[in-house]
Amino acid sequence: MGPFAKIGRKFLVHLLDSYRIDHRRTLPPIRPEPLTHPKRKNKACQLPPWLALFFTFSLQATPLQVEVQAKQAILMRADNHKVLFSKKEHEKAFPASVTKIATALFAVSRSPIDQTITVTPEALTHKYLQEIHRYKLATDGTKMGIVVGETLLLQDLLYGLLLSSGNDAANAIAFGLAPSMEIFMEEFGRYLNSLGCQNTTLQNPHGLHHEEHLSSAYDLALIASEALKLDVLRKIVQTTSYIKPKSNKQKPFELIQSNLLIRKQSPYFDPRAIGMKTGYTSKAGYTLIAAAKVEDRELIAVLLGEPSSKARYLDAKRLFDAAFAEQKIEKRFFGPEHFFTRPSTILNHPIQASPALDLKVSFYPSEEPSYKASIHWQPLCLPIKMGDIIGTLQLVDTLNGPLIEVPLLAKESIELTWWEQIKLWWQTT
């Protein structure tokens, strides 16, 4: 369209306005054809959708009120990473053997569990009493019981890693999946960074003490949530005993679970618990990653720097007790009695719409999200009948995405006047 034609059209609109054409006089309504042919454009419906952000607010979740003896702690929901309780959750600390959850996750993410691994002499090398070394084994550390030259499946090593807390299994996995420990740990570190771990600098695959072998309660909860997504790891951490099969070097023998939360004969047994991992070194204190589930709510507790083995189990149970005792709250934001207005450049009055259903959500008090609500208007197709869907009202959790969406229905029928049809034709030609 040339510049003179555009000027002429604007002049015509101005002229018609100046003569106050009777807008109540109507012509037969324009009924746009469906957009079924890729080359056919129904210009009455080509107006772009219009987004109106109309309400954003942050409600403060009510953290769980629990006293724990751990120096660093967190209780996190596994599926969406909502934090229900925290204590210095981003502070770096020595994780000890809960490191092995991360090692198992990385191993399964890069290799099939039926891969065979032969134990190398380097994997079972012990450090001298006062020697400082990143990955060599300690003579008094926990072991699976493998020997040099033994060939095992990765799956069997994972059971030895997570049930018996085998430092030897951790080294065997690392040397079996990479040309060297250094390469394994470099790739391991990059993988953990990709998960969002910002305060984790692991130096070995087992968790034996090193001054730079650090993580945080928050990072370890992220790692645990990823591990629970994998069926093979979920199964292993729930297993109380496992018979390691006969190998080329050894007869079968039994591996026993070290996590007392899932052993029925233990005084700390919790029927809600679904496993994870314990840890201990003299510098780290007692550590624990524990997971528990009630109905569809799955929670992860991480406890670091505990003064005793008993304390870590009791702290975990206190956190789970407090969380699972919560009752859901329902919050209603909008309903059919509320009206929203869609401006129009064609009509002489705005279009009103209301939600077809209640916009409401339910949540636990310690998990209440921050909300953002918005209206998404559909392209305007006239005429409109009362009850037509002309948009949607959406409620979004600002951290985890959409929560609920309901349609917006026109409150009245709207027929185009003669003048409005001219304006519509003018804007869409």
Report, as residue numbers or ranges, the catalytic residues: 97, 100, 165
Token pair for residue 25? Answer: 């006089």
User: Token pair for residue 94?
Assistant: 């020595």
Which candidate, 213, 241, 238, 208, places its Cα nearest to that of 142? 208
Distance CA 335, CA 337 (A): 5
Centre a 10 Å sphere on the Cβ of residue 325 and count the other Cβ atoms it contains. 8
CA dist 266 and 379 (Å) reads 64
State the virtual CA torsion across 93, 96, 100, 105 in degrees, nearest 10: 0
Residues 391, 396, 400, 402, CA torsion sign: negative
Closest CA to 316 of 63, 83, 74: 74
How many angstroms from the chain centroid is the CA of residue 254? 36
Rounded Cα gap, residues 321 and 331, in angstroms: 24
- Whole-Å CA distances, 139 to 9, 125, 126, 282: 91, 10, 6, 14
Q: In whole angstroms, give the CA distance from residue 247 to residue 157.
A: 12
- Omega within 30 of 0 (cis) for the link into 383: yes
Task: Please give the span between the terminal C-alpha atoms of the chain, in angstroms, as a whole number.
Answer: 10
- CA angle, 375 as apex, 373 and 378 as ends, to 5°? 155
3-state secondary structure 312-346: HHHHHHHHHHHHHCCCCEEEEEECCCCCEEECCCC
Q: Position 276: which residue type?
A: M
Q: Tell me 97's DSSP state.
A: G
Q: What's the CA gap between 18 and 10, in Å, rounded?
A: 12
Residue 386 token pair:
């009362």
DSSP letter at 71 equals: S
